[in-house]
Structure 1
């Protein structure tokens, strides 16, 4: 799913409420309630994924986010996976996947020690 168009992303994510889109490292970071749940890099959308859901993304042809470092190594961030391209054609399913990404971000935040959490209690 190519989503370099910030206006389109804002429109598709509006029903979630409280979403902020920020420029980051030549791309975009997607935040809700202070937690990053997605990113756009090289015009590709990646969503935060709970460990038990990586198989779902892999079955859709996704792969974890990775980037090259200065020394030529590739670094993979396994908690963000490429979103299926088909989501751009189905706003309801897109929102369902975005909600799961938000839930994954919240779960990851809750798993951190109290002093390192970013968001307040969700409830």
Structure 2
């Protein structure tokens, strides 16, 4: 099942104050990016908006009633606590949604930096092997 166009447009509207937002595929949903490669949120194929978290901010999401992203593989339910649902209070309130998005930017930037560093290591390793 794909993300509905209506939910994608709603999410882009909720987070418009963050600036230019890019999109890309993630799992069976859509990832939302700022600053080119900083994935701060995703929309699942069930049209739920999930925000990037880490152990430092996860508790704040849980306290607001957020649930972790999960999927099923091989009959087993896998939980991804680095993605927590956008609190219900923010679903129709762009100001509140942006507050949660800004909270997600720290973990999102850290994850993007880690990914960039890994790409750089792989490129350097490949260059050494080629040279």
Give the aligned partner of residue 83 of structure 1.
Answer: 86
Unaligned runs of 5+ in 1: 118-123
Matched, 1:48 2:55: no
Q: Which has the higher contact order (CA 8 A, sep 6+)?
A: 1
Q: 1:8-23 to 2 correspondence within 5 Å?
A: 8-23=10-25
Count of equivalent residues: 114
Q: CA deviation at 1:8?
A: 1.6
TM-score, normalised on structure 2?
0.74
In the TM superposition, structure 1's runs of 4+ consecutive aligned residues that sit over 4 Å from their partners are: none
Tell me the SS of whatever aligns to 2:75: coil
TM-score, normalised on structure 1?
0.79
Tell me the SS of whatever aligns to 1:18: coil
Tell me the SS of whatever aligns to 1:5: helix
Q: Distance in 1 between matches of 2:108 and 2:16?
A: 18
Q: Distance in 1 between matches of 2:66 and 2:84?
A: 6
- The root-mean-square deviation of aligned C-alpha atoms, in Å, is 2.2
Unaligned runs of 5+ in 2: 121-131
Larger Cα-atom Rg: 2
Tell me the SS of whatever aligns to 1:56: helix
Q: Which has the higher helix share?
A: 2
Tell me the SS of whatever aligns to 2:15: helix
Query: Contact conserved, 1:46 with 1:65, CA < 8 A, in 2?
Result: yes
